[in-house]
């Protein structure tokens, strides 16, 4: 880690989209290619899908355990989505940010709003992914083949209301071509890292420029 990454204020990078628009695919790519990022692994009461691993994709917990986490303020945000509870554990996020790392969140619009309004809200950057068409969204949900037909129908029915929140996000991308969309995400990350308030070393640098001025006078 360079001195600059250690000092940098991390990004809390939120990716939201209607289910099936591609956020898990893009999130995995970002985590693989950008070593500064760590995933905020959510807790959920939803049952695992076939290839999901406890602790990697989600912490699969009982309703009782989830309610205990809420009561003990262990979650930075939480929401009820598709009949199940989901929430972002607070401690790993705070630890990652303390270490100057970036944290990726795959949460819905309710989570994005709550993170923005949290005490760490100044670090939050939000991105919403739109599908190129509703037909493409449905086709992706079907090729993913991880949900039963009635679940897919439910997700399609919810897509419209999820899409209605698009304008609440900092950045909105259309995930048509996966590589093009990923490269736009990389651009956003690079730009966010250059924000003045994320570069903690700027003030000392300007101080040293001023000292140089004084030495010359
Ligand atoms: P989400 O996490 O938003 O529910 P996924 O990342 O699971 O969505 O993507 C749903 C399906 O669509 C997956 O099978 C994925 O491989 C596919 N997919 C994602 N992005 C694209 C894209 N740009 N073009 C075609 N298929 C895509
Ligand atoms: P899925 O069941 O497809 O993994 O996720 C369903 C929805 O829940 C997605 O829109 C996903 O972004 C959202 N989600 C996952 N984890 C969280 C979380 O911790 N908080 C909130 N608010 N939403 C989440």
> What mean pLDDT is predicted for residues 188-204?
93
In tens, the pLDDT along 41-67 reads 999 999 998 889 999 999 999 999 999
Residues 119-149 have pLDDT tens digits of 999 999 999 999 999 999 999 998 877 777 8
The verdict on the CB of residue 24 being under 6 Å from ligand 1 is yes
Q: Which residue has the tokens 């303390």?
A: 98
Task: Grade residue 7 by pLDDT with cuts at 50, 70 and 90.
Answer: low
- Residue 5, pLDDT score: 46
Distance 81 CA to ligand 2 centre (A): 7
- Is the CB–ligand 1 distance for residue 143 below 6 Å? yes
Q: Is 18 in the pocket of ligand 2 (CB under 6 A)?
A: no
- Residue 66 C-alpha to ligand 1 middle, in angstroms? 28
**C-alpha triplet 169, 30, 11: angle, nearest 5°:** 50
Lookup: tokens for 179: 């590589």
Helix (H, G, I), strand (E, B) or coil at 108: coil
| Ligand with smallest separation from the Cα of 15 | 2
Distance CA 45, CA 69 (A): 12
Question: Ligand 2: distance of its center to the CA of 18 in Å?
Answer: 10
Query: Separation of 22 CA from ligand 1 center, angstroms?
Result: 4
- Which residue has the CA at smallest separation from atom 17 of ligand 1? 140
* CA-proximal residue: ligand 1, atom 20 (nearest): 22
**Domains of the chain from N-terminus onward:** 3-41+102-211 (3.40.50.300)
| Cα–Cα separations (whole angstroms), residue 99 to 79, 132, 152, 192, 199 | 27, 37, 39, 18, 14
- pLDDT, residue 153, reads 85
Instruction: Give the SS3 label for residue 85.
Output: strand
Q: Whose alpha carbon is nearest atom 3 of ligand 2?
A: 19
The secondary structure of 24-75 as a DSSP string is: HHHHHHHHHH-TTEEE-PPEESSPPPTT--BTTTBEE--HHHHHHHHHTT-E
Contacts of 74 (CB under 8 A, 6+ apart): 68, 89, 90, 91
Nearest to 17 by CA among 32, 6, 27: 27
Residue ranges of alpha helices (H) inside 108-170 are 109-116, 134-144, 149-163
Q: Is 105 in the pocket of ligand 2 (CB under 6 A)?
A: no
Ligand 1 proximity of 140 Cβ (cutoff 6 Å): yes
**Distance of alpha carbon 148 from alpha carbon 31, whole angstroms:** 28
Q: Are the CB atoms for 26 and 178 separated by under 8 Å?
A: yes
């Amino acid at each position: 880690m360079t001195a600059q990454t250690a000092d940098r204020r991390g990004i809390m990078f939120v990716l939201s989209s209607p289910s099936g628009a591609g956020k898990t695919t893009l999130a995995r790519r970002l985590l693989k290619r950008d070593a500064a990022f760590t995933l905020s692994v959510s807790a959920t009461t939803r049952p695992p899908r076939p290839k999901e691993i406890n602790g990697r994709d989600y912490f699969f917990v009982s309703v009782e355990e989830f309610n205990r986490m809420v009561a003990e303020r262990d979650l930075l945000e939480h929401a009820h989505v598709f009949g199940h509870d989901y929430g972002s554990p607070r401690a790993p996020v705070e630890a990652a940010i303390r270490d100057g790392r970036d944290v990726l969140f795959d949460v819905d619009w309710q989570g994005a709003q709550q993170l923005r309004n949290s005490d760490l809200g100044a670090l939050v950057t939000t991105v919403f992914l739109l599908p190129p068409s509703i037909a493409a969204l449905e086709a992706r949900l079907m090729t993913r083949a991880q949900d039963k037909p009635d679940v897919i129908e439910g997700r399609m029915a919810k897509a419209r209301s999820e899409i209605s929140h698009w304008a609440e996000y900092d950045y909105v991308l259309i995930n048509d071509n996966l590589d093009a969309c990923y490269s736009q995400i990389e651009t956003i990350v690079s730009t966010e890292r250059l924000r003045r308030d994320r570069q903690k070393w700027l003030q000392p640098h300007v101080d040293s420029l001023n000292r140089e001025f004084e030495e010359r006078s």
